[in-house]
Amino acid sequence: MTTTQTTPTRLLPELRLSSPSNRDALVIDTPVILAPMAGVTNAAYRQLCREQGAGLYVCEMITSRGLVVGDPKTAEMLAFWPEEEVRSVQTYGVDPVSLEVAVDILCKGFGVDHIDLNFGCPVPKVTRKGGGGVLPWKLDLVREIMASTVQTADRFGVPVTIKTRIGIDDRHLTFLDMARLAEDSGVAAICLHARTVAEAYSGHAHWDAITQLVQAVDIPVLGNGDIWEAKDAVAMIEQTGCAGVEVGRGCLGRPWLFRDLAGAIAGEDETVLPSLGEVCQIVRRHGELLARLWGEEHGMKDLRKHMAWYFKGFPVGGELRHTLGMVSSLAELDTLLAQLDPDVDYPTAELGRPRGRQGSPRSKVTMPWGWLDDRCGLELDLSEAELETSGG
């Protein structure tokens, strides 16, 4: 009797990002992207996710101002390792000229291969000055920002993508206008976090908006929002027709999610949940990478915030959880991890549940007075919307 093995059908082709002068400036075999997250996606965490299967892994956001003024913290955040064959950075700025200088620094000084422009930050201290997720309301200014960034990056053959939200609130939508501007400006792809600024990270993402975006433009559209498991990514791709997915909060304490996502993109149906022992191995690897990046003392301090995410739902006693959250050395980490039963199964009750910040929707988005009166913005001085020189 002969048995026939079928080859899995790939869910998505590779993702090709173009610059105006370079059609295939960047080719991503697995269109699964680690979203930039402040205080999380440093070189160590990017390496961890790369090892698990992420196709593109973006450095935490830095500001154009931080680059232009030579802020040391910004430079520290732009640490890349030889293993990172593709250097990807998200930057944020409100001034086309400043962004032009910043992009030149990124490409020439840091050898960056991909630049993502952030137009989606919902933080009130940013939006009240006209920045972040309310900036897309000013279409003329956004057009200048995109054009300046794309033209500068194209001198180095570097593709530019953008990330935005649906709009300010459900009465002031901006995503379709942003997509058309992006396409006209030579932007390589657009990622949509399918929530409004008012919703921040609360409620459920509106995947129907991703579908609308896919139908509105010819450049690739990446979907973001409520991808907690591989099946969520499959559902988003099938429902919306997006060209890839970007994952942020869903991978907190679960970098192996990228292994599952890569398998799903390749057409594989099965996912294997890690035992507590396997989670401990990943925590140890994370600690090693952080120690390599910053030294053991600083690295262990950074690892502490990840402990609650890694062990969420596992039967870890309160005292041990507290001690893990105060770990100060790799030797101490080894001692603490050895106290856990490696054969404990993964807590399936945690599957599909939101992770990280959520919060509540806002009844009102804080903006400058008269912000909604017109769509231009070229005459505005928005420098205070970028006062912090570091990213995040």
Active-site amino acid positions: 121
DSSP summary character for residue 9: P
Beta strands in the chain, from DSSP E residues, in sequence order: 15-19, 22-28, 32-34, 56-63, 88-92, 114-119, 160-165, 167-169, 172-173, 189-193, 221-224, 244-247
The residues near 41 (Cβ < 8 Å, ≥ 6 apart) are 34, 35, 57, 58, 59, 60
As a whole number of Å, the end-to-end CA separation of the chain is 60
Q: How far is CA 135 from CA 93, 152, 176, 390, in A?
A: 10, 21, 14, 19
Residues 282, 255: Cα–Cα separation, whole Å: 8
Task: Enter the tokens of residue 91.
Answer: 């930057």
Q: How many Cα atoms sit within 13 Å of 225 on the Cβ side?
A: 27
In the chain, the amino acid numbered 171 is: R
| Other beta carbons less than 10 A from residue 387's beta carbon | 12
Residues 179, 164: Cα–Cα separation, whole Å: 9
Nearest to 160 by CA among 91, 95, 80: 91
Q: What radius of gyration, in Å, describes the C-alpha atoms of the chain?
A: 21
Q: Determine the length of the chain.
A: 392
Which residue in the block uniquely carries the two structure tokens 């942003």?
178
Nearest to 150 by CA among 115, 112, 197: 115
For every residue of 281-297, DSSP letters joined together read HHHHHHHHHHHHHH-HH
Task: Enter the tokens of residue 25.
Answer: 């400036």
